[in-house]
Structure 1
Amino acid sequence: MDEPKKNEDSPKELEIVQKQAEEYLNGWKRAKADYINFKREAEKKQKELIEFATAGLLLELLPLVDQFKQAFRHLPAEQKDDEWIKGIRHIQSNLNKLIENFGIKEIKTVGEKFNPEQHEAVGEVESDQDEGTVVEEVKTGFRMHDKVLIPAEVKVSKKKSQ
């Protein structure tokens, strides 16, 4: 007589076990989703840390890019074709490519209209050009995408005094 009672309990037990299995499965799915989210967040933080460290290094390199540019502006004409100068120019070119690979570009200056968001005026020069036009670059400026990292130091045209 015990056997019929077992059969009556079996559907209830089966239902309980199925609910328990469903709870375990849902818990496992939540844990898996939490793990995936954690992994994504950790990767994002690692990427941000690398970008932060890279940005710091690049900001330290940008003055070197400008120093190369300034040095070549003052290079005596008779030395321009020297082999060692060609080697230094090659290094400069590689440095420029490196910063370009990170989306950093020089801010356009000479001939451009003065833009206080990109240019820092360090002087005025009497000129025939339209007033407020950049006539000389004193120090190279850099931007990354649309953000100015270092403003360009420039001299701006003003009307000639009569």
Structure 2
Amino acid sequence: MTTENSLPPDAAGATEPTAAELNPENKIAELEGRLAEMSDAYLRAKAEVENVRRRADEDIAKARKFAVESFAEAMLPVMDSMEAAIATPDAKVETVLEGVHATRRQLASALERNKVVEINPSAGTKFDPHQHQAISVVPAEQDANTVVTVLQKGFLIADRVLRPALVTVAAPK
């Protein structure tokens, strides 16, 4: 005859469940508790994601709104120089011309600080359709498809063409 004590333990070495563990009401209560914990964790994570998304949207809106702030700040001295020139209507032509050159240097410096760079190809430079716009093709004593003259400078902003340079191009011979 075999007694309870002589039964071999199962392979995992577990003991038999207690009466409390077998009670379905305890299992349901335990599962409901876990469900409540998981629901709470889910709602907290969802709220956190919504907060992060809202903050990101606010940051993007601020960035768009104030994107030109540094550029506008760099343009203020140029505006001041132009207003000073207007304020002196009796100035000599030489003085006005000197002021115009100084204002142009201020403007060029402000553009450069804001990564706006001139496209001004020299004669003989190979025509680049990404940076140049050919206005006409003219006969010239240089290689075909090269720049002959620049009619209007172009500009890049952070390596993107803001305005292509308007050029005439040498015709094939």
Unaligned runs of 5+ in 2: 1-27, 76-92
Could you say which residue in structure 1 is the equivalent of 2:98? 86
- Please report how far the alpha carbon of residue 35 of structure 1 lies from its aligned counterpart in structure 2 after TM superposition: 0.9
| 1:113 partner SS | coil
Could you say which residue in structure 1 is the equivalent of 2:149? 136
Structure 1 pair 131–19 and aligned structure 2 pair: CA distance change class (3 A): closer
| Higher RCO (C-alpha 8 Å, min separation 6) | 1
Could you say which residue in structure 1 is the equivalent of 2:89? none
**Which amino acid in 1 is paired with 2:170?**
S
| 2:51 partner SS | helix
**Which amino acid in 1 is paired with 2:143?**
D
TM-score (norm 1): 0.57
Could you say which residue in structure 1 is the equivalent of 2:7? none
1:104/1:144 contact within 8 Å kept: yes
1:138/1:155 contact within 8 Å kept: yes
2:155/2:164 contact within 8 Å kept: yes
TM-score (norm 2): 0.54
Give the CA RMSD over aligned residues. 3.7
**Which amino acid in 2 is paired with 1:85?**
L
Could you say which residue in structure 1 is the equivalent of 2:112? 100
Work out the CA distance in 2 between the residues paired with 1:91 and 1:139: 20
Could you say which residue in structure 1 is the equivalent of 2:128? 115
- Mapping of residues 1-162 of structure 1, within 5 Å: 20=36, 23-24=39-40, 27-51=43-67, 54=68, 82-111=94-123, 112-158=125-171
Structure 1 pair 85–17 and aligned structure 2 pair: CA distance change class (3 A): same
Unaligned runs of 5+ in 1: 1-11, 62-78
